[in-house]
Amino acid sequence: MQQVNTPTNRNVRVASSKLKALVCRIFVYNGLPGDHAEIAAHALVKASLRGVDSHGVARVAMYCERLRRKVTNPRPEITVARVTPAVAQIDGDNGLGLVVGNCGMNEAIAIAKEFGIGLAGVKRSGHYGMAALYILQAIEANCIGMAFTNASPAMAVWGGRKPFLGTSPFAAGAPSGSGPPFLIDMACSVVARGKLKFAAQRGEPIPEGLALDKKGRPTTDGQAAFEGVVLPFGGVKGSALSMLMEVLSGVLTGAAFGGDVRNPFTGLDGFQGTGHFFMALKADAFMPLEQFKERLGTLAARAKAQPPAEGVDQILMPGEPEALTESERSENGIPLTPDVVASLMAEADLADISIDFT
Ligand SMILES: NC(=O)c1ccc[n+]([C@@H]2O[C@H](COP(=O)([O-])OP(=O)(O)OC[C@H]3O[C@@H](n4cnc5c(N)ncnc54)[C@H](O)[C@@H]3O)[C@@H](O)[C@H]2O)c1
């Protein structure tokens, strides 16, 4: 039986290295080989470090439940086929999306090193977490990266009233000389569905334009919204972008699509069937790398020097809020709420691992 030493009713701060070691051991207990467990633990702790708590260590239990129910393959034989010199088709063998996604971007980068640009289409994967992970991989290799995924139905198609499209994040970024890298990572929904759940639990209203109720009527009632459907951001534009990700990640790659990707929490009767699409382009494709980085630095400096709108302290580049959070949390530890601590304790308990969160 594990030793538990933790306060259960208040937030605690835990060093990322300690959290990563714990998550890695939990994944190994659930059948992952050591190198895959390392990739998955890095992915979740990195999301928590960057303040993307919805896709960080709070999700360990979700991934483990799928492994226990055998609807994620812990030891996939991931195969890579070069279908043209610069395009790879990857079969994830229903492995953990965090691991298969890592392999997909690695392959796109390897091709880009050879040909300047590399594309990888991935089928038979699962929920791949915070999309910024794959862009950071590309940036580390001095590439411009793009990462698309499809996802289980959660959002209405424009004009519809039932969950159909995924909230699929659009992610892209590039290395920059000074300051954090340029990094866009945004879901296609106007708001995370989790926020509707909080409003419903607290009986709070929500702003207009976020959701429809069950009958397809706009609502500001938190509960009705949670029972209904979240809307795409930017109206028809968010819907169109999510559809593009279905085309590239689902239709093109041979993955599930059009409502067939299983929900990572509730779709426990089979593999998810998720698809991804990765692009890496060498950042020095048109000019020396340092010149590219300097020019991107100039763009950032000019944007940040714009006169701020009323109520705005400072103008930030995409990716900067998360980079600022990462530097604060690297120093002070990752804050974990009592429910996240409880879920990690439950997983550690199953794996007979002693933990100390004090
Ligand atoms: N794998 C999946 O199926 C899936 C599905 C949905 C969401 N997600 C993940 O959920 C996470 C959260 O997504 P989100 O849409 O809520 O992100 P968000 O709204 O917090 O951020 C979106 C983007 O806006 C930028 N940004 C935010 N504030 C800014 C500011 N003040 N100035 C300049 N830029 C700013 C961020 O850097 C980010 O690039 C993402 O990591 C995403 O990958 C994953």
115 CA to middle of ligand 1, Å?
A: 31
Give me the count of residues in the chain. Answer: 358
Q: Write out the CATH class of domain 4-71+329-356.
A: mainly alpha
Question: Rounded distance, CA 70 to CA 59, Å?
Answer: 17
Residue 5 pLDDT greater than 90, yes or no:
no
185 CA to middle of ligand 1, Å?
A: 5
Question: Rounded distance, CA 103 to CA 195, Å?
Answer: 31
pLDDT > 70: percent of the chain: 97
Which residues of the chain form beta strands (DSSP E)? 4-5, 12-14, 79-84, 87-91, 117-125, 143-149, 170-174, 182-186, 211-212, 218-219, 229-230, 274-282, 334-336, 355-356
Task: Give the pLDDT score at 9.
Answer: 63
Among the atoms of ligand 1, which is closest to the Cα of residue 317? 33
Residue 53: closest CA among 105, 129, 150, 127: 129
**Residue of the nearest CA to atom 24 in ligand 1?**
318
- Under the banding of pLDDT at 50, 70 and 90, the label for residue 3 is very low
What would the CATH number be for the domain defined by 79-282? 3.30.1370.60
Confirm or reject: Cβ of 131 under 6 Å from ligand 1. yes
Among the atoms of ligand 1, which is closest to the Cα of residue 189? 15
**Residue of the nearest CA to atom 17 in ligand 1?**
186
Task: Take residue 150 and report the two structure tokens written for it.
Answer: 């499809």
Per residue in 249-296, pLDDT (tens digit) is 999 999 999 999 999 999 999 999 999 999 999 999 999 999 999 999
Q: Where are the domains of the chain?
A: 4-71+329-356, 79-282
Task: Give the pLDDT score at 6.
Answer: 53
Task: Give the pLDDT score at 203.
Answer: 87
**Residue of the nearest CA to atom 21 in ligand 1?**
186
Q: What is the DSSP letter of 180?
A: S
What number is the average pLDDT over the span 157-182? 93
Among the atoms of ligand 1, which is closest to the Cα of residue 274? 3
**Residue of the nearest CA to atom 1 in ligand 1?**
129
- Under the banding of pLDDT at 50, 70 and 90, the label for residue 227 is confident
Among the atoms of ligand 1, which is closest to the Cα of residue 264? 3
Residue 60 pLDDT greater than 90, yes or no:
yes
Task: Give the pLDDT score at 1.
Answer: 42
Chain mean position to CA 123: 17
Average pLDDT, the chain: 94
Per residue in 79-124, pLDDT (tens digit) is 999 999 999 999 999 999 999 999 999 999 999 999 999 999 999 9
Domain 4-71+329-356 matches domain 79-282 at the CATH topology level: no
77 CA to middle of ligand 1, Å?
A: 31
Task: Take residue 129 and report the two structure tokens written for it.
Answer: 């977490």
264 and 126 Cβ atoms separated by less than 8 Å: yes
What number is the average pLDDT over the span 220-246? 93
- Under the banding of pLDDT at 50, 70 and 90, the label for residue 4 is very low
Confirm or reject: Cβ of 128 under 6 Å from ligand 1. yes
Residue 172 pLDDT greater than 60, yes or no:
yes
Confirm or reject: Cβ of 321 under 6 Å from ligand 1. yes
pLDDT > 90: percent of the chain: 88
b/e per residue 330-356 (b: at least 16 CB within 10 A): eeebbebeeebbebbbebbeebebebe
Per residue in 112-150, pLDDT (tens digit) is 999 999 999 999 999 999 999 999 999 999 999 999 999
Q: What are the two backbone dihedrals, phi and then psi, of residue 112, each rounded to the nearest 5 degrees? A: -60, -35
Per residue in 242-262, pLDDT (tens digit) is 999 999 999 999 999 999 999
Specify the pTM. Answer: 0.95
**Residue of the nearest CA to atom 32 in ligand 1?**
316
Question: Rounded distance, CA 62 to CA 96, Å?
Answer: 11
Beta pairing partners, 120:
88, 278
